[in-house]
Structures are given as C-alpha cells and as structure tokens.
Amino acid sequence: MSEIRRIDAADPANPSFRAPILEAGARIRSGGVVVFPTRCLYGLGVNALDSAAVGRVFEIKLRPKDKPILVLVRRMRDVERFVERVPAYAHRIMARFWPGGVTLVFAAAVGVSPLLTADSGKIGIRLCGHPIARALVEAAGSPITGTSANISETPACADIAQLDARITAGVDLILDAGPLAGGIGSTVVDVTGDRPRILRDGVVPAVRILEIT
C-alpha cells in the first residue's frame, strides 16, 4: 500500500503544506511516482527527464506506447528544453493564459524521450495553475508528467477513494487533497503550424485563444 499524505491547497505558506510537498519532490527526484492533485483530477507525476521513471508511468497505467504524455513545467522558459521552436503566437497564448487551463502542443526538440511524444514528434506542455501541482514541480526541481492517475481507458478520478487498486499499489506516494472539483480539463492547442489548431475544447474557450493569435 502506498504512503498517503494529506495536504490542504488553501494555505501554501503553512508548514503542513510544505512538508508533504518536499517529501513528494524528493520521491520524484529519486525516480519515484507520485499521485498529486490538479484543478479537476488527480495525476501521476515523475521526472519528465528520467526515461526510466516515465516508463514506470506507462507500466502502472497499462498505457499503450502510442499515447503521448504531457509535461508540466514550473516556468515558461523551461518550455525551451523540450521544443524545437516557440512561435510568436504561442508566446502570446502563454502570456495570456498560463498558468492555467491551456495545454500547448509543440514540435518536440531532438532528444526528447519518444515515450513522452509517442514517436509523434510533438510534445504537450502546460504551466499548471493549481497550487499543489505548481509547488510539486518546483520541489521536484524538474518538469514532471501530468497524465491522469488511472488505468488506461478507464475513468480518471477526482478523489483518491476512486483510485484503481493497481494505481495505489504501483506508486510511491499519494498527495491527498480531498475531493477535487472535477469538470472539464485543459483546452489543448497545437502550435506546430502557422496558426493555432484546437485539438480539444476545454476550460478556456477556443474563441478566447484564437482572438489573440
């Protein structure tokens, strides 16, 4: 049974917030897998630069290798280590909507793990707005994966009580922030071309993104 740490997102300055974050960050730095809350669902976080750790995520989720995994970064300049280029219009989207509910899909840089891109040549990246997720990326000292904490092709969960037993058994630590809000996920936008292309409607209306590009 994985260890569980309760955490309250309401007061990031409280020591009771920092202690489990620091523990989870240390687990990630040592190659571990952590369940953590985002705005609407729980996710699985590992060091996105550690191919062995990313491989563990695929094994735990029983995830097909042809499905990419998005990356959460702690600051906008961290995007550059994963991507071939950032178009001018993508900079505008990032400035307007990050941190928050927009995931951008870029042309991946040479050397980015094919596990993250599913050999597509593209990588999804988001600067997460949830205080626990953002603090975890900071504590880990590296970008982390942001895939949902579920077995592939099964519903994602907004409460750790809903976690599949195989997820619970496979991870190293669970950050329990209680029931999450649920709802729709991020808006996914492909920025590999001359114009943005909406791949998935989400919490940020597509029209708001397109009007600034």
C-alpha span between 209 and 146 (Å, rounded): 22
Q: What is the pTM of this model?
A: 0.94
How many structural domains compose the chain? 1
Beta strands in the chain (DSSP E): 3-6, 34-37, 42-45, 71-73, 102-107, 122-127, 144-145, 147-148, 173-176, 187-190, 197-200
CA dihedral 184, 77, 137, 147 (to 10 degrees): 40
Of the candidates 66, 31, 63, which has an alpha carbon nearest to the alpha carbon of residue 140?
31
CA dihedral 104, 87, 137, 62 (to 10 degrees): 40
Q: What is the pLDDT of residues 137-152, one digit of tens each?
A: 999 999 999 999 999 9
**CATH number, domain containing residue 84:** 3.90.870.10
Tell me what percent of the residues of the chain surpass a pLDDT of 70.
100
Task: Enumerate residue ranges in the chain where pLDDT < 70.
Answer: 1
Q: Which residues does residue 36 pair with via DSSP β-bridges, in sequence order?
A: 43
Q: What is the pLDDT of residue 160?
A: 95
Q: What is the pLDDT of residue 146?
A: 95
Report the Cα 141 to chain-centroid distance in Å. Answer: 14
Q: What is the pLDDT of residue 33?
A: 98
**Which residue range(s) make up the domain with 158?**
3-210
